[in-house]
Structure formats: structure tokens, C-alpha cells
Structure 1
């Protein structure tokens, strides 16, 4: 299936009002958040410390009387410079382009499946700055197979999970983890749509380099095409 055809499939599925966080949080309580290197408000924030970033996110939510801050697809971010996990001996391969959509909310917030699927794989990715507990769901819609990734979860989210377990649309199957387990970030969900997992299990790059952006933007389309926030 061509990328444009897959995009149209996601648009069609968006009519069913999918969500990835506890459905009791209304859309009116969501607010966009810019964490790109071009946001002047971040120039005075030492994002190498998760507590500083958490304060920034908290203040943004308070200022907008919101419960969830969202965004981040293809943002070029400086927050990954603190971790060797995203660095490379080849400077052109240093990763800074965010490939998913983030949802910043309180620790323990429920994570839902936007579509029917089953558990493909899961893992606790424990590198500093990595996803921490991660679950990948597999979906088959109109004979098209693709995947959704959920990163920065709680450790408890992995305890009842089994490969092949069915997950229904709207089902709460995980919760957001704290900075102690989620790669040292403020509590949030990294949600990513992946067309081809390329053999990965329980993990897939959520950040890429500039020179890889062309490939990854096709393999990992904008989640908001599906969610329509």
C-alpha cells in the first residue's frame, strides 16, 4: 500500500473517534505543546533535568486549564542531547527528530487502544532517555497490517501483558509511568504509528536523525491523522 493510501485509511478510521488516553478526559481539556528547539520559551529551561521539564509542562497545563498537553510529531528537539542513547560517532546520524505524538498528563493516567488489535510485543527499554516500559499492538484493518507503539508506561503495565492478547478499541490496557521508570521524563505517553516494524520486538526508533527523516516519516505517519486533535 502506498503512503498516500495508508494515510487515507487512517483518515477513514478517524471517523470512529479513536483515543489513546482515558476517554473520561474530554477533548476540551487538551492543549497543544511545542517542545521543539525553536520554541523561545524553552531557551531558559535546562531540559537535561526531568524536574525542570516537568515544571515547564505543568505550568503550560495550568496556564491553559488543561489536563493533557499534546504534540511533537517531527519536532526537532534539544531534549535528547542529554543522553548518549541518541548520539552517534557520525554527527549526521545524531537523532533529534521526534517520530511520534506525545501526551503529557498525570502519572497513572490510563492508556487506551485507538483500534482493535492484539499485543505484538513488549519490553522495558531501560537506556537513559529511552521509552522505559513499552507495548506494541498489531492491527489488521481491511487486510492492511500495521502497528502502534506506546512508550513511557508504568512497570505495572507490563505485568498482565501477554503476546497475542487481544486488546479492544477503547480498552485501558496500560498507565503512564513516573520519571523513575519511563526513561527520566515527566509522565507522558509516546504514541507512534508504524507501518513496518523491520523485525523489531518491543521497541522501534521514536527519534531519528535529519538524514533519516524521509524514510521514517513515510514508515511512521503523523498519528494525528488518526486522532484528529
Structure 2
């Protein structure tokens, strides 16, 4: 069932290609603006690069999540799927997986290019990619909870940000710390282990919490 739901979501997303491209363009453009707003000095950019890339990736993922839910909610597809017996947890888990595949994974693939542009230390590229691989799925799952809670509300995007962004802070801290540690030649396995533990925790609990929230939102 999960594979069928993910296949459906991917087909729908590729019919609306702007939903894939907009977050990626946002990621590229916002990251590219930092050298103009802060300093073009390579040494300064190298220090800021881990935090800049992580914050921009976080915002790009948050930007993409609304499109995965809004159209299905507006045309009644979400209600029909739940009424037909599909588990709400499976629905939100499929949407979170799709969000990561069409937005999170391309962001990870683009991150080395932006790392070069921001003069990220060569030793930190591996840590950056691995930390994003561990952190971005957790962010997609957390966003699924927030979206399930706010989907029935008008202008729920602002409330979604208020709900989700505080929960992103630990992921952001440990992800940026791992890259910073690699930059200065320190061990970063501990930070990656914490990101992995966070991913295991969110993967086991978030679909059920988001599914319950979605059921409540659709029943109102």
C-alpha cells in the first residue's frame, strides 16, 4: 500500500513540475545572496557555509510541503482516501517520503555545489552530505505533523511555520555542528549519531502522530 501511495504522489508532483523546481530555485537563490549581504571574503564564507546551507535547506523543505497536501485537500481526495479505508498514517508517511525524494534529495545533491561557492572546507563536504541525508528526512516527517494539524485552516502556512520551526532547531544545531567540526578537523560522529537517533525516533512516531492529526482535521 505504501509503495502505491508513494507512486501516486510522485506522479501527481511531476504533473506540476513547478512544485519541484520552486524550492530548488529558492535554495539556490537564497544561498547565493549570502555572499552579497555578508561578505565576499572566502574565510568569512567558509565559516558561515554550514549554517547557511542548513538554514536554506530547512526553509526550502518547509516551502515544498504545502503543495503535497493542499490540492488533495481542496479536491476532496484526502477525505475519499480516508473514507475508503486507507490509513491516515500511511497517507502522511507517503507524502513525507515523496517530499524528501522530490525536494530533499535534490537539495542534498546541490549542496556540494553551494559548498564550493561558499568556500566550504574540502574536509567538510562528506559531513555535510551525510548530515543532510540524516536530517532532511526528519524535517519532512516533522513538517507532515504540522501540515496535518493546519491543513483545514485558512492561511495555515504561518501557523505551520510557528509549529514546525522550533522542532527543527535540534536538527539544525547538530547538522551544522557536524559540518563545523569536520571543518576544523574534529570528530563529528557524535553529531551524526544524534541525527540518526532523531531520524529513527521521528520515523517511528511521526507518521502515527500526523495520521491522527490528519483524521481530526478532516473530521472538522
Higher RCO (C-alpha under 8 Å, 6+ residues apart): 2
Higher Rg of the two aligned structures: 2
TM-score surpassing 0.5? no
Compute the TM-score of the two structures, normalised by the length of structure 1.
0.30
Compute the TM-score of the two structures, normalised by the length of structure 2.
0.31
